Amino acid sequence: MLELIPLFMFLVVCLVLMAGFPVAFTLAGTALLFAFGGLYFGVFEGVMLRALPNRLFGIINNETLIAVPLFVFMGSMLERARVAEDMLQSMASLFGGIRGGLAYSVILVGMLLAASTGIVGATVVTMGLLSLPVMMKNGYDKPLSTGIICASGTLGQIIPPSIVLILLGDVLSSAYLQAQSAAGVYPPKAISVGDLFMGALLPGLVLVVLYLLYVALRIRLKPSLAPAIVRAEDLPKVPVTTVLLSLFVPLGLIIAVLGSIIVGLASPSEAAAVGAVGALLLAFVRGQLTIKRLREVMLTSTKTTSMVFMILIGASIFSLVFRAYNGDDLISQLFEQLPGGAIGAMLVVMLVMFLLGFILDFIEIIYVVVPIVAPVLMMMGLDPIWLGIMIAINLQTSFLTPPFGFALFYLRGVAPPEIATKDIYRGVIPFIGIQLLMLILLAFWPDVTTWLPHLIYGG
């Protein structure tokens, strides 16, 4: 019975989280409850808790995590500088006059917003407020419109610079070192956030292409789903120079951030600083930088960063107690007993993460589940970059899946009254199919994720 304590810990955490308690305090509180209970019954070594200060000090000194507040600041500033609104207007002026033009515009702007903000909720809400009313006025199909907005909004989960990839990169880096140490590999290899950024680039672009192809095929088969804009007031006459500036200025910022990482001029944290300063300058040039707006952005960045680090501290306490009860050995034994070896274990992990994505945020899953299962999966021979991208796309898919997908709730909150919840659910189903197709493609061709990192960084 004692060997099952780690599973009871995990079960208690899930139950308490579903009851609505804060994540960070749930993780830390559950771990300390089991630790003190173990001390009382003599089944837990109190000396294990002495490692906690070193763990917390390691979190404070982790330079990779500096990128989190900087990228959040960058995304929040771009959101409040009305960059998305200008890009949508520019795209509408270019493509709105053709059948399905608004649909293509939403997907492309969603891709650019994903690469410049990386914040799923903000992207879905922004696109829903700006584009959905125009699509409805021009006779667009409700399920198709809502599906496009939700799917495009979740691209921020996979297209760099993504907060998901930054946090995953930090966790997987530690897990990979742990797996190599257990396997006796010396000197151990390392993976970085930059590796995950490069690994996610091709799958993210392929997803965008698949979205566009799906929409084009639907419109080809049934043109009435997405008619061309005929209302003059909905097809703004934007000067060519304005169109170019609205598209290429944010694109230039994206290239500066990702390009500096790709060519090795900057680490992800340094590139995040470039992005934050660039977003600040862009807001200033556009006349959108005010003291009030800057205060709002700073407050949002501080709240988000505090939440992330509190969850990280709670997860660190949880993993310490979990390992003290030999939870790693228990997970390893369970995986070894599964049929199919590494493939069977991977399928189980992906299914569990997908289901947890209905009730837990991606930050919670990354810091609770990934540190437990990733070292074992890597010891079974799975590539860490491929594993990270598969997890990211899986979490993105759970964000879209009815009835609990977070993206659905975000859009439901801003959708006009004539949009029924069933319209949103029907609209995302084909895009869920595309996400699953992407996972299958990566399962059979893992080089799609590993080719670019190996080409750029070697190894």
- DSSP annotation string for 223-257: GGGSPPP--GGGS----HHHHHHHHHHHHHHHHHH
| Mean pLDDT to the nearest integer, 107-131 | 76
Find out whether 168 and 388 touch, Cβ atoms under 8 Å: yes
Tokens of 324: 């003290």
What is the rounded distance in angstroms from the CA atom of residue 95 to the CA atom of residue 229? 9
Rounded distance between C-alpha atoms, residue 153 and residue 186, angstroms: 42
Question: Taking every pair of C-alpha atoms in the chain, what is the biggest distance, in angstroms?
Answer: 77
Residue 147 has a pLDDT of: 93
| Helix/strand/coil (H/E/C) assignment for every residue in 49-94 | HHHHHHHHHHHHCCHHHHHHHHHHHHHHHHHHCCHHHHHHHHHHHH
392-444, pLDDT tens digit by residue? 999 888 888 887 777 888 888 888 888 888 898 999 999 999 999 999 999 99
| SS3 assignment, position 405 | coil
For helices 67-80 and 120-137, what crossing angle results, to 10°?
Answer: 20
Q: Is pLDDT above 70 for 263? A: yes
Of the two residues 389 and 177, the one the predictor is more confident about is 389
- Two structure tokens written together for 276: 């934050």
Q: Residue 199: which of 383, 453, 439 has the closest Cα?
A: 453
**Which whole number is the average pLDDT over 89-108?**
79
Confidence band (pLDDT; 50, 70, 90) for 207? very high
CA distances from 280 to 159, 272, 298, 360 (A): 22, 12, 12, 32
Q: What is the pLDDT of residue 71?
A: 83
Over 80: is that where the pLDDT of 220 sits?
yes
CA angle 78, 213, 87 (to 5 degrees): 20
Give, rounded to a whole angstrom, the gap between the first and last alpha carbons of the chain. Answer: 44
pLDDT for the residue 61? 80
**How far is it, in rounded angstroms, from Cα 357 to Cα 334?**
22
- What angle is formed at CA 16 by the lines to CA 11 and CA 18, rounded to 5 degrees? 95
CA distance linking residue 142 with residue 97, whole number of Å: 19
CB-CB contact of 428 with 408 (8 Å): yes
Vertex 331, ends 328 and 336: CA angle to 5°?
A: 125
Query: Predicted confidence band at 209 (pLDDT cuts at 50, 70, 90)?
Result: very high
**Length, in residues, of the chain:** 459
Domain residue ranges in the chain: 2-457
Tell me if residue 417 falls in helix, strand or coil: coil
Residue of 410 and 148 predicted with greater confidence: 148
Rounded average pLDDT over 336-354: 86
Using the predicted structure, report yes or no on whether residue 158 has a pLDDT greater than 80. yes
pLDDT at 300: 85
Q: How remote is the C-alpha of 427 from its chain's centroid?
A: 21
Mean pLDDT of the chain: 83
The distance from CA 55 to its chain's CA centroid, rounded to whole angstroms, is 25
Contact 74, 68 (CB under 8 A): no
String of b and e for 193-211 (b: at least 16 CB within 10 Å)? bbbbbbbbbbbbebbbebb
**SS3 state of residue 290:** coil
| pLDDT top residue among 172 and 14 | 172
Residue 40 has pLDDT above 80, yes or no: yes
Structure tokens at 102: 């608004």
- Higher local confidence (pLDDT), 241 or 59: 59
CB of 321 within 8 A of CB of 10?
A: no
The answer on pLDDT for 193 being more than 80 is yes
Q: Name the band, by pLDDT with cuts 50, 70 and 90, for residue 62.
A: confident
Residue with more model confidence, 173 or 121: 173
**Which DSSP state fits 4?**
G
pLDDT higher for 253 or 104? 104
Query: Are residues 168 and 438 in contact, defined by beta-carbon separation less than 8 angstroms?
Result: no
- Taking phi first (over 0 means left), then psi (-120 to 50 degrees means alpha), and beta for anything else, what does residue 139 get? left
User: How far apart, in whole angstroms, are the C-alpha atoms of residue 310 and residue 306?
Assistant: 6
Q: pTM of the predicted model, to two decimals? A: 0.85
